[in-house]
Amino acid sequence: MSVVYSATLKNNRMQLVTDLISNQVAAASTGSAAAGSLVIGTSALSGATGVLATIALSATAGTVSGGVLTLSGVPLSVAASATGTAALAELRNTGGTAIVTGLTVGTSGTNVIIGSVAISSGQTVTCTAGTITHG
């Protein structure tokens, strides 16, 4: 499964391409930053369905270098809200809207690294790393 970006993000990225082609300068982000979340879920993750854990991110969710977004503040932990096998993750804004979906979850070689994919309600879930590579 490929990482999926929201329509708003896709449109903003394409507008930036257009602006740069037109020799305009890319502007820094505006507005007040607010903490989003990393939602870890089962293979059925969609909205409230399949959610195993929701981890609060810092207001600056990550850093970007060389086309790779790396989550800030790791390790990040929270008590699981449900029981299941972690398979997918999403990055959501403070209002709960999914900005990036289709992130893979595992103990290595995935977008989101956690200690174990077998999650039980109440268990501490810790994200030790998270990256998205622009492709």
Q: For the segment 21-65, what is each residue's pLDDT rounded down to a tens digit?
A: 778 877 777 778 888 999 999 999 999 999 999 999 988 899 888
CA atoms within 13 A on the CB side of 62: 19
Above 90 in pLDDT, residue 89? yes
pLDDT score recorded for residue 34 = 84
Average pLDDT of the chain is 91
pTM over 0.75: yes
Q: Taking the domains of the chain in order of start, what are their residue ranges?
A: 4-133
The pLDDT tens digits of the residues spanning 91-106 come to 999 999 998 999 999 9
